[in-house]
Amino acid sequence: MKAVSALLLGVALTGCVARGPRRDPPATATASVPGGWRTPVANGVAIAGDWWTAFGDPVLTALVERALANNVDIAIAASRIEEARAAEALARAQLSPQVGGSLPETQGQTLSPFGTPSRAIGAQPGITASFDLDLFGRLRLASRAARAQLLATAAARDTIRLATAATTASGYVTLRALDQRLAIARATLAARSDALRIARRRFETGYSSRLEYRQAQAEYAATAQLVPAAELAIARQENALSLLTGDPPRAIARGRALDRLAIPAIPDGLPADLLRRRPDLYQAEQTLVAADLTLDSQRAAFLPNLALTGTAGVVLSTALSDPVALFSLGASVLAPLFDGGRLRAQENAATARRDQAAFAYRRTALVAFREVDDALAGVQRTGKQAEDLAQQAAAASGALQNATNRYRAGYSAYIEQLDAQRNLLTAQLSLVQAQTDRLTSYVALYQAMGGGWTRPVPTG
């Protein structure tokens, strides 16, 4: 099965490398991460459980850890593991002897040689045992398939944990970006308010036309609507993060500003086998193993089955002077002769499920490489874009200062200052978006790499 998995992974790798006020909670609030996050997976490695600390924000770290501790989807996944563990125990129990006891009681009448009836009371305690020899491994294969399914279920839980951590980190970055947009909107609104005051005074004294005054009014109103829009987006983002952390809608603590979050370093030449740490890839692999073992178990059902049975007991009765010991030992051979095609249909269904699992494993590997490549491209392109936009914002800020000085000195019309303000606002908002996209690309890369790109220390 390992050879099949390696072959499929090799094929996949080809060609790829109305709302009340909120009170902010204390920024130091923390929550413990549930045990088992670093669940051992393929090749004895472990999922990196603290990649979100690379951004250097303690508030972000506390928020992600709270989500991992309280998220409802993770709790549901944990209960599915318990269900799979019970199914494995049930399959393993089929390999053990089955022992039972009985204590039937009888009452009746007996006749003496002289024809005199008498009442007799008796009991026959006994023990029965049966054991399936499993000559062709049908039960052993089913037990191993249940074990593989348990591992796949555990990997599914780790997939949900990784997605929860990534979504929480991205949501926090988005929240800080919205805070930055709100700050830009308020600063621009203050500048527009000052421009509106100057335009009104110039209009009232006859130094400018009504057109300039109306333009200033329109620009002030256009900027003012950005503030409640940003506040609404912030409230909704806080609610989304509260849902991830398993809490009712609440205010979310803030840490570092968007442009103060650390940028993790990415080493060159990342090995492709790091992707084997991805829990979804390991889940697909174990699902394929379980399907393959189930197919072998279905094929073993065509072969004869040998079972041993035995009973031992004693007969106790008032009609007997001494107890009578009884025992029996036997064997039964059961072989399918004619079942109307039931076993053949079950084998065909198991074969189809095995093929589906094989294709799903290959698709998961291909998706993994696509996600890594997309995230790497996002990190590189958005980083360059953010640098260019930072230069544009700096130039636009200087142009606005020059336009404002010229307008106040009477050397230019108000439209020149207005265009400079618009350009600066657009550049600032675009810069915030590029910084957000860059940080979320790092989060996506962490998720695509199964929790990071550092080789963990082998466990065990």
CB neighbours (10 Å) of residue 98?
13
CATH code, 388:
1.20.1600.10
- In angstroms, the CA 50 to CA 451 distance is 8
Q: Given a cut of 70, is residue 377 above it in pLDDT?
A: yes
**pLDDT on residue 348:** 84
Per the domain annotation, does 456 fall within a domain? no
What's the total number of domains in the chain? Answer: 1
Question: What backbone torsions phi and psi does residue 329 show, to the nearest 5 degrees?
Answer: -145, 130
Greatest mean pLDDT among 83-87, 95-99, 171-175, 205-209: 171-175
Q: Identify which has the larger pLDDT, 434 or 290.
A: 434
Per the domain annotation, does 114 fall within a domain? no
**pLDDT on residue 450:** 85
Distance from the Cα of residue 39 to its chain's centroid: 14
- In angstroms, the CA 86 to CA 80 distance is 10
pLDDT category at 326 given cuts 50, 70, 90 is: low
Per the domain annotation, does 125 fall within a domain? yes
- In angstroms, the CA 456 to CA 46 distance is 6
Tell me the mean pLDDT in the region 392-420: 86
pLDDT category at 345 given cuts 50, 70, 90 is: confident
Per the domain annotation, does 50 fall within a domain? yes
Please say whether the beta carbons of 11 and 358 come within 8 A. Answer: no
**pLDDT on residue 122:** 57
Tokens of 410: 């009477």
Tell me the mean pLDDT in the region 320-349: 68
Residue spans of alpha helices (H) in 71-137: 72-93
Greatest mean pLDDT among 130-144, 195-209, 368-382: 368-382
Per the domain annotation, does 458 fall within a domain? no
- In angstroms, the CA 178 to CA 441 distance is 17
Tokens 């329109």 appear where? 218
**Least-confidence region, from 74-83, 134-143, 405-414:** 134-143
- One-letter amino acid of 346: Q
Tell me the mean pLDDT in the region 111-136: 61
pLDDT category at 22 given cuts 50, 70, 90 is: very low
- In angstroms, the CA 212 to CA 251 distance is 42
Q: Identify which has the larger pLDDT, 224 or 40.
A: 224
The range of the structural domain enclosing residue 269 comes to 2-106+120-448
pTM: 0.77
**Least-confidence region, from 198-202, 216-220, 234-238, 421-425:** 198-202
pLDDT category at 265 given cuts 50, 70, 90 is: confident
Per the domain annotation, does 146 fall within a domain? yes
Per the domain annotation, does 453 fall within a domain? no
Per the domain annotation, does 51 fall within a domain? yes
Q: Identify which has the larger pLDDT, 186 or 456.
A: 186
- In angstroms, the CA 382 to CA 392 distance is 15
- One-letter amino acid of 392: Q
